């Protein structure tokens, strides 16, 4: 959760982001995570109202803040 919160605080979610985008951003910072590691954290952050999500045209969830 802390890693995604750091991305959020840095403005990363000002644009809609997929899990692939998040994995790439975290990898650039030296963190290697699987999609299955990120998914439950994203669901929790969405349920808490920290992030919002919508499906894009490719039927992938995108995460963002207003």
Q: What is the pLDDT of residues 17-61, one digit of tens each?
A: 999 999 999 999 999 999 999 999 999 999 999 999 999 999 999
Task: Please state the pTM of the whole predicted model.
Answer: 0.92
Q: How confident is the model at residue 2 (pLDDT cuts 50, 70, 90)?
A: very high
DSSP string over 3-65? HHHHHHHTTGGGS-B-HHHHHHHHHHTT----HHHHHHHHHHHHHTTSSEEEE-TTS-EEEE-
How far is 51 from 45, CA to CA, in rounded Å? 6
Is the per-residue pLDDT at 66 higher than 90?
no
Beta bridge partners of residue 64, listed in sequence order: 52
């Amino acid at each position: 959760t802390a890693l995604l919160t750091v991305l959020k605080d840095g403005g990363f979610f000002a644009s809609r982001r997929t899990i692939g985008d998040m994995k790439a951003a975290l990898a650039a910072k030296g963190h290697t995570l699987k999609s299955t590691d990120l998914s439950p954290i994203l669901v929790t952050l969405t349920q808490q109202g920290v992030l919002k999500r919508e499906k894009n045209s490719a039927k992938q969830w995108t995460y963002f803040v207003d």
